[in-house]
């Protein structure tokens, strides 16, 4: 089988570069061959999305709600095949795949409910005014899609943040046609999901061009898409480097379009002395933390990458237990050899800082893509001196920073760049130190967690997934939950109509 590009409903086969995806568990190529989209195909895709926009935007929100439910249904019905490819292309477990697929389906259902609400489209109204008003005409402000949205598939969420993940579903719900540039790591899964989305579109009579799907092995496809005048917004989830590159490229456009990039985070954990007063506390917290750091090989944007604690009598036991838990956490392959290479390079660089101790030992493995869980331990002054320790290490790594005082801890937090989350573990919540820390972290992060871990992002309107730069490119928006629809909505005021 050869997988072409979906230019709207049309499956196109060109002379573009052929490529295959890699199974990171054994470094073998997967069966299906994909064809990279050519400049002509990209142009046609953008034009068809541009043409579809007014039609798709004008569909009743309830019709689009049906589309989303139909997609959810088809994902469910085809879960066996999808999960097969999910594992082959990501090396993630079936169990993780099932959770992620359920989350993706939940997202589709949530947005479907949102836009099914009677007056969803209506933002505000004002009836005809008096002569004191600047105009006596009535005003009615209604929601519109912003235009065709380009979505970059994410390497670490083949379901929930890729083809029909959070960005795509928010854009479709808003009334925006979507063009997915699939992630080359899981291009076959993406292709198969796209097939289902298009089938759902056919069954619910959506206009041709409401959804397109392009294969890309090189950066060129993304570049041409970012610069195309038909594209009116961009959604990206990935590294700071990737997000900033897209942002920079988009600045070459003659117009300005919103680029929402969720670019990862250190997700600092702050451990207050009151949290680890008993052996039981220590066991519970270290077990939770180790799981949060190592699950899915630490390949979450919300993985805790740094942990601050204040040294005292309990500290040594806590560190011993955490090291033990991390050391004994199962290790599995990372998403791709390039991810494994980056992971090993970064953690080795950190290890080489003279005042950093590597507390864990790599286990033996025949698979060079395995991400060995690692805990690095150092002090506050090292953290303050080395910007390397503020870089996200994508994989099961965490740096533990031993502070001698609350003041040192506070200095470290003050110097943190913008984060998606900060977690605070503390039994007491009435001290001056606690409230000062909460106040400070609220300026640093989009979500503050008390006595919990940052992984396991609840899909809900009350969720905030997006924090100050560089954790996301626009801290005013969220990438998770129904509020994320506002990234792709503009309002139009109708004055004097009816």
Query: Residues interacting with its own copies, by CB under 8 A?
Result: 53-54, 58, 103, 123-126, 129, 133-135, 137, 139-141, 144, 146-147, 247, 251, 255-258, 418, 439-440, 442-443, 445-452, 456-464, 468-470, 473-476, 478, 483, 486-487, 489-497
In the complex, minimum distance from the CB of residue 497 to its own copies, in angstroms, rounded to a whole number: 5
- Two tokens at 138? 């009535």
Nearer residue to its own copies within complex by CB, 40 or 128: 128
Contact predicate 232/148, CB 8 Å: yes
Q: Which is nearer to its own copies, 54 or 330 (CB)?
A: 54
Shortest Å distance, C-beta 187 to its own copies: 27
Shortest Cβ distance from residue 189 to its own copies (Å)?
22
Cβ nearer to its own copies, comparing 39 with 452:
452
Which is catalytic among the residues 36, 66, 89, 262? 262
- Would you say 253 and 227 are in contact if contact means Cβ atoms under 8 Å apart? yes
| Least gap, CB of 118 to its own copies (angstroms) | 18
Q: Work out whether strand 28-35 and strand 5-7 pair parallel, antiparallel, or are unpaired.
A: unpaired
Compute the least distance from the CB of residue 414 to its own copies, in Å: 11
Of the pair 144, 367, the CB lying nearest its own copies is at: 144
Is 262 catalytic? The answer is yes
Computed from CA positions of residues 480, 392, 188, 9, in that sequence, does the dihedral angle turn out positive or negative? positive
Indicate the angle between helix axes 79-90 and 94-116, nearest 10 degrees. Answer: 120
Residues 11 and 5 sit within 8 Å (Cβ to Cβ): yes
Residue 15 Cα distances to 99, 158, 371, 424, angstroms: 37, 26, 37, 54
- Give 118 or 255: the residue with its C-beta nearer to its own copies: 255
Which one of 46, 176, 301, 398 is the catalytic residue? Answer: 301
Give helix 187-203 / helix 79-90 axis angle, nearest 10°.
150
Of the pair 168, 464, the CB lying nearest its own copies is at 464
| Smallest gap from residue 261 Cβ to its own copies (A) | 9
Among residues 20 and 51, whose Cβ is nearest to its own copies? 51
| Cis? peptide before 470, omega within 30° of 0 | yes
Minimum distance of its own copies from residue 217's CB (angstroms): 29
Q: Which residues contact 358 (CB under 8 A, 6 or more apart)?
A: 351, 374, 375, 376, 377
> Among residues 432 and 476, whose Cβ is nearest to its own copies?
476
Spatial distance between the Cα atoms of 172 and 61, rounded to a whole number of angstroms: 10
> Shortest Cβ distance from residue 359 to its own copies (Å)?
28
Positions annotated as catalytic residues are 262, 301
């Amino acid at each position: 089988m050869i997988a072409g590009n979906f230019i709207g409903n049309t499956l196109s086969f060109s002379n573009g570069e052929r490529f295959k995806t890699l199974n990171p568990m054994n470094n073998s190529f997967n069966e299906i061959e994909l064809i990279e989209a050519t400049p002509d195909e990209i142009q046609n895709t953008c034009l068809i999305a541009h043409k579809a926009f007014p039609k798709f935007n004008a569909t009743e929100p309830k019709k689009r709600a049906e589309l989303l439910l139909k997609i959810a249904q088809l994902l469910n019905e085809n879960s066996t095949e999808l999960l097969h490819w999910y594992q082959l292309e990501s090396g993630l477990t079936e169990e993780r795949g099932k959770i992620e697929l359920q989350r993706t389906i939940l997202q589709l259902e949530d947005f479907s409910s949102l836009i099914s609400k009677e007056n969803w489209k209506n933002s505000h109204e004002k009836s005809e005014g008096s002569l004191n008003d600047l105009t006596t005409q009535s005003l009615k402000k209604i929601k519109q899609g912003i235009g065709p949205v380009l979505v970059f598939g994410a390497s670490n969420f083949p379901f929930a943040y890729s083809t029909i993940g959070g960005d795509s579903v928010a854009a479709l719900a808003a009334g925006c046609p979507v063009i997915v540039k699939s992630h080359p790591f899981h291009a076959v899964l993406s292709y198969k999901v796209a097939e289902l989305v298009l089938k759902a579109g056919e069954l619910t009579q959506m206009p041709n061009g409401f959804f397109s799907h392009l294969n890309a092995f090189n950066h060129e496809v993304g570049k041409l898409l970012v610069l195309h005048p038909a594209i009116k917004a961009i959604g990206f989830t990935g590294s700071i480097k990737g997000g900033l590159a897209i942002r920079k490229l988009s600045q070459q456009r003659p117009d300005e379009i919103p680029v929402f990039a969720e670019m990862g985070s250190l997700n600092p954990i702050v451990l207050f002395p009151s949290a680890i007063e008993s052996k039981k506390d220590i066991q519970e917290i270290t077990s939770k933390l180790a799981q949060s750091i190592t699950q899915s090989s630490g390949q979450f944007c919300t993985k805790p990458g740094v942990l601050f604690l204040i040294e005292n009598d309990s500290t040594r036991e806590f560190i011993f237990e955490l090291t033990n838990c991390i050391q004994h956490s199962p290790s599995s392959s990372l998403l791709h050899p390039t991810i494994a290479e980056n992971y090993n390079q970064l953690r080795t660089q950190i290890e080489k800082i003279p005042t950093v101790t590597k507390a864990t030992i790599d286990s033996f493995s025949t698979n060079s893509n395995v991400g060995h869980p690692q805990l690095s331990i150092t002090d506050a002054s090292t953290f303050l001196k080395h910007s390397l320790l503020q870089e996200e290490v994508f994989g099961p790594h965490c740096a533990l920073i031993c502070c001698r005082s609350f003041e040192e801890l506070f200095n470290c937090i003050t110097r943190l760049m913008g984060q998606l989350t900060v977690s605070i573990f503390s039994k007491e919540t009435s001290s001056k130190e606690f409230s000062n820390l909460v106040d400070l972290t609220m300026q640093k992060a989009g979500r503050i967690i008390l006595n919990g871990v940052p992984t396991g992002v609840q899909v809900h309107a009350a969720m905030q997934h997006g924090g100050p730069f560089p954790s996301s490119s626009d801290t005013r928006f969220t990438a998770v939950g129904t509020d994320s629809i506002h990234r792709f909505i503009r309002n139009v005021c109708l004055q004097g109509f009816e």
